[in-house]
Structure 1
Amino acid sequence: MSANAFDARRQLTRQQPICHPRSMSVAALDEKNARFWDELCGSEMAKQLGVTDSSQASLKRFDDWFFGHYPYLPLLIPFHEVGDKDVLEIGLGYGTVAQRLAERSGTYTGLDIALGPVAMANDRLRQIGRDQTAQQGSVLSAPFPDDRFDMIVTIGCLHHTGDLAKGIDECYRMLRPGGRLIVMVYNAYSFRRWHDAPRATAGLWLSERFGHRGAFDTRPKDRGIYDANLAGEVAPHLDVVSVTSLRHMCRRFGSFKAIRQNITTDWPFQRRTRNDLLLTCWPRIGGLDIYMTAVK
């Protein structure tokens, strides 16, 4: 797909606002997210890699980098187990996970708040001979019936919705009994959070000791460290959350497990390489991300 085609789709997104029968504040955030995430997550790296289109050669270059940078993903997302399962992915980004899931699953469905990632996912599906089943929409009012999917995968998405708990509840609703939910969200107690926002992080830690459960909205200047587009604009909303609060949000599920993962060479690891750090215990202690799996 050419850059001009993606630009045309972005214009279409701007001309057709997303409206949901919810509060104006949530609808307004949907609008902002639709515009911000229309630029594919990973565009900065794609630019550095020289990816300028969605040809198979270009996408392979990006995908090789992606799985090289996150070597633990095949261990946390069970691509080898999707088999004949009905799989939903929420938050599509550059479509790397979408393509790998679609190549292995019985049926694949994609959902994203923005049209750009939907277009990319459908282009990938077309290239591998699969039905183009990615569509635009919000997980907070997901357009799918109850008990529809065997597996839901959502990597780096729910913490941007403005209502992480409801996003998890919607996933629970759409899963069949025995279905599996796999989620990646940002860790409220990562080394990065303790360094960049020590007072807020300590305050959240103390409030959880007194029983508070929930996600914590970050400041705009903190969001830019995690998610910014090519123009330097930061994500409209970003929550961080603890394993304790995630477990509480997943209390309706039959089982829950979580692991911390991912790390940078910022404080206190300036003298280490990321590849070396990934082999240590430090990502499991104060990693950037939390990967959770819950079974209905």
Structure 2
Amino acid sequence: MSDTADQTAIDSRNSAFWSELCGTQFAKSLGVTDDSPASLKKFDDWYFAFYPYLFVHIPFEDMRDKDVLEIGLGYGTVSQRLAEAGARYQGLDIAPGPVAMANHRLKQAGLEGRAQVGSILQAPFADASFDYVVAIGCLHHTGDLYKAIEECRRILRPGSKLIFMVYYAYSYRRFYQARTETLRYLMRETFGHRGVVGLSAQAERAAYDANQAGEGAPHTDWISIRSLRKFCRGFASFSGQTENIDNGQPFEQSPPRRELLKTWIPRWFGLDLYATATK
């Protein structure tokens, strides 16, 4: 099978998988059963409380009157907040479900902006179209993380920023669940390799993203800060910081997550790698 055919297959599986909105299971646990303003606010309040560091990494207040593209829309929480902040908002997702939710939110709240179906690997935008690109938790699912980053760079204006989150290759979970692969990756990086951990068992992927049937995402990459910096070498500057921890393995008997977030673990071995690359 050619690389093109491989990518087409990944795109097709991603479109089907991610049409179930990311966060659906959490929404159900909160009692969110519709897409009314009250229900969506309940979800959004939970979301921003669960990921409080989003306000550190996404400068919503600086995006007023700026052209902002969000990639990977999920339940539309960040989409609505960007539009509410006064950004000239556009959204892009490979799956129709998140696009419909984002557009519903914007219309329901009387906000400007539009989301569309498409792949960041072939971004349907001209060069130098945006002041910010925001991509939280999606580029590592595309099947070609480097190309996704390069497309983001292409559509950014000089001096503008890509703000994104990908999964960290040296997180505590990776050492716990995939120790051999993680140590192999560490050894390869020690000798100069720069790239992703791209092949994984479904159980490893499902530990990060699972649909209501318990299936893991079709494709997931994990990457180190060193390798991600290399992937962003076309940008003028790059910075990265790990975040996030939960009460899954091996912290089932540990203090609540809000207490774990205050420890040193997320800063050194967090699940997620938040990065800002300036063109």
Q: TM-score of the superposition, structure 1-length normalised?
A: 0.91
Aligned to 2:152: 171
Which residue of the other structure, out of 205, 227, 241, is the alignment partner of 1:259? 241
What secondary structure, in the 3-state scheme, does the structure 1 residue paired with 2:28 have?
Answer: helix
Which residue of the other structure, out of 193, 198, 213, is the alignment partner of 1:231? 213
What secondary structure, in the 3-state scheme, does the structure 1 residue paired with 2:207 have?
Answer: helix
In structure 2, relative to structure 1, the CA distance for the partners of 1:80 and 1:131 (3 Å cut) is: closer
- After superposition, where does 1:280-291 map in structure 2 within 5 Å? 280-291=263-274
* Letter paired with 1:273: P
- In structure 2, C-alpha distance between the alignment counterparts of 1:162 and 1:293, rounded to whole Å: 21
- In structure 1, C-alpha distance between the alignment counterparts of 2:43 and 2:19, rounded to whole Å: 18
Deviations 1:165-219 (A, max 9, x none): 0000000000000110001000000000001010000000000011111111122
Which residue of the other structure, out of 243, 260, 278, is the alignment partner of 2:261? 278
- After superposition, where does 1:175-194 map in structure 2 within 5 Å? 175-194=156-175
What secondary structure, in the 3-state scheme, does the structure 2 residue paired with 1:236 have?
Answer: coil
Contact 2:171 2:271 in 1 (8 A): yes
Contact 1:114 1:136 in 2 (8 A): yes
- In structure 2, C-alpha distance between the alignment counterparts of 1:132 and 1:235, rounded to whole Å: 28
- In structure 2, C-alpha distance between the alignment counterparts of 1:45 and 1:222, rounded to whole Å: 20
- In structure 1, C-alpha distance between the alignment counterparts of 2:238 and 2:194, rounded to whole Å: 16
What secondary structure, in the 3-state scheme, does the structure 2 residue paired with 1:102 have?
Answer: helix
Aligned to 2:62: 81
Deviation at 1:131, TM superposition (A): 3.5
- In structure 1, C-alpha distance between the alignment counterparts of 2:223 and 2:7, rounded to whole Å: 19
> Alignment identity in percent?
57
Deviation at 1:130, TM superposition (A): 2.4
* Letter paired with 1:220: Q
Contact 2:169 2:222 in 1 (8 A): yes
- After superposition, where does 1:138-149 map in structure 2 within 5 Å? 138-149=119-130
Deviations 1:103-154 (A, max 9, x none): 1133100000000000000001101212351000000001000000000000
Stretches of structure 1 lacking an aligned partner (at least 5 in a row): 1-21
Contact 2:73 2:99 in 1 (8 A): yes
- In structure 2, C-alpha distance between the alignment counterparts of 1:266 and 1:51, rounded to whole Å: 23
- In structure 2, C-alpha distance between the alignment counterparts of 1:89 and 1:48, rounded to whole Å: 26
In structure 2, relative to structure 1, the CA distance for the partners of 1:89 and 1:62 (3 Å cut) is: same
Q: TM-score of the superposition, structure 2-length normalised?
A: 0.96
- In structure 2, C-alpha distance between the alignment counterparts of 1:271 and 1:96, rounded to whole Å: 29
What secondary structure, in the 3-state scheme, does the structure 1 residue paired with 2:147 have?
Answer: helix
* Letter paired with 2:201: R
Contact 2:83 2:113 in 1 (8 A): no
Deviation at 1:268, TM superposition (A): 4.7
